Amino acid sequence: MQELAAQDGAEYLGLSTQQQFDLMAKAGWNEAGTREQAAVVNQLAEKYRIKIYPREIGGVPCYFLEPEHVLSKNRNRLLVHLHGGAYTGGGGSGASWEAIRVSAISQMRTVAIDYRMPPEFPYPAAIDDAMSVWRKLVQSNKSARLGVFGTSTGGAMTLLMVQRAKKERLPLPGAIFAGTPWADMSKTGDSYFTNAYVDNVTPTYEGGLQASALLYANGRDLKDPGLSPIYGDFTRFPPTLLVAGTRDLFLSNTVRVHVRLLESGTEAKLVVLEGQSHAQYLFSETAPESHFVINQVVNFMDRHLSR
């Protein structure tokens, strides 16, 4: 068992937002399952021969992933990872989960950011933490050698980081991967409707996503570009890889970002996986589709990051 269970969200259906919050709190979602997560992460790290060191960067807790062999071309390269989990899960030791395979297969060092989350820390704590790490990293690294990536909420945060780095006139990463990004936190987008109950990872918007969105937004409009990057600026983006599935609740989130990037003249590559639900490549570690996605990420970073 090397997988973190997908949360099907069925337990949230029919409950009020307050009841959903209570259920989340009862599940202790923030530190929740930390022990189980740690076991999964340790097993995966062992299998892929990755050493994981906790390290604080810019005042933010991170995990530093060191592959057994770092290719010489990757010596000065570094990947930065943002975990998924709807801003209400996936933190703690689980923060390095997705990064293990990418780090191992790319043979690149990776920093996984364990950003703060609700209920204690709603918007903008998570993205503020990501920016603190970025600000620190670009002080001592050429940004063209840095790649940023994440899936779902991590994919949205990857896009938000670039948008905010542009605003703050910080250097931009050499390439990014936004896997099926939560680009629109409001229920706007075709596949929130067409793929409802078709997606078997995140069957509905109402099944936990909405409550998480409201909890993180903390009263802000869900279409605020600080929350939903689709409403932000897509000019001057670095080369961007996007991945979704045909039965992905976030298919529209993904393709809307892709079209915006194409319109701005960005080198943006979209891959849509046959029959795959939201972020299924994370949950089905050994499926051919999952290998395909990880290889796409690795090749994309290798092609675009400076040495």
Residues at the interface with a second copy (CB under 8 A): 189-191, 194-195, 198, 246-247, 251-252, 255-256, 258-259, 262-263, 269-275, 292, 296
Q: Is 80 exposed, middle or buried (0-12, 13-18, 19+ CB in 10 A)?
A: buried
- Measured from the CB atom, the residue of 8 and 267 that comes closer to a second copy is 267
User: Which residue number, 153 or 296, has a Cβ lying nearer to a second copy?
Assistant: 296
CB 190 within 8 A of CB 209: no
Q: Tell me the closest approach of the beta carbon of residue 242 to a second copy, in angstroms.
A: 10
Provide, rounded to whole angstroms, the least separation between the CB of residue 159 and a second copy: 16
CB closer to a second copy, 21 vs 205: 205
Angstrom distance (rounded) from CA 21 to CA 44? 31
Least distance in Å: CB of 72 to a second copy? 24
Cα torsion for 292, 298, 302, 307, to the nearest 10°? -170
- Provide the β-strand partners of residue 307: none
Q: Which is nearer to a second copy, 45 or 249 (CB)?
A: 249
* Residue 253: CB minimum distance to a second copy, A: 10
Phi, psi of 55 (to 5 degrees): -155, 135
Cα–Cα nearest to 95, from 133, 69, 123, 124: 133
- Strand pairing category for 50-57 and 110-113: unpaired
Q: How far is the CB of 45 from a second copy (least distance, A)?
A: 29
Contact status, residue 199 vs residue 248, Cβ threshold 8 Å: yes
Beta 146-151 vs 110-113: how paired, if at all? Answer: unpaired
Burial label for 138, CB within 10 Å (0-12, 13-18, 19+), is middle
Q: How far is the CB of 198 from a second copy (least distance, A)?
A: 5
- CB closer to a second copy, 142 vs 269: 269
Tokens in use for 160?
């938000």
Q: What is the DSSP string of 77-96?
A: -EEEEE--STTTSS-GGGGG
CB of 80 or CB of 242, closer to a second copy: 242
Task: Identify the helix (H) or strand (E) that includes residue 24.
Answer: helix 17-26
Residue 86 identity (one-letter amino acid) = A
Q: How far is the CB of 270 from a second copy (least distance, A)?
A: 5
Task: Provide the minimum distance between the beta carbon of 189 and a second copy in the complex, in angstroms, as a whole number.
Answer: 7
Nearer CB in complex with a second copy: 4/273: 273
Nearer to a second copy, 24 or 255 (CB): 255
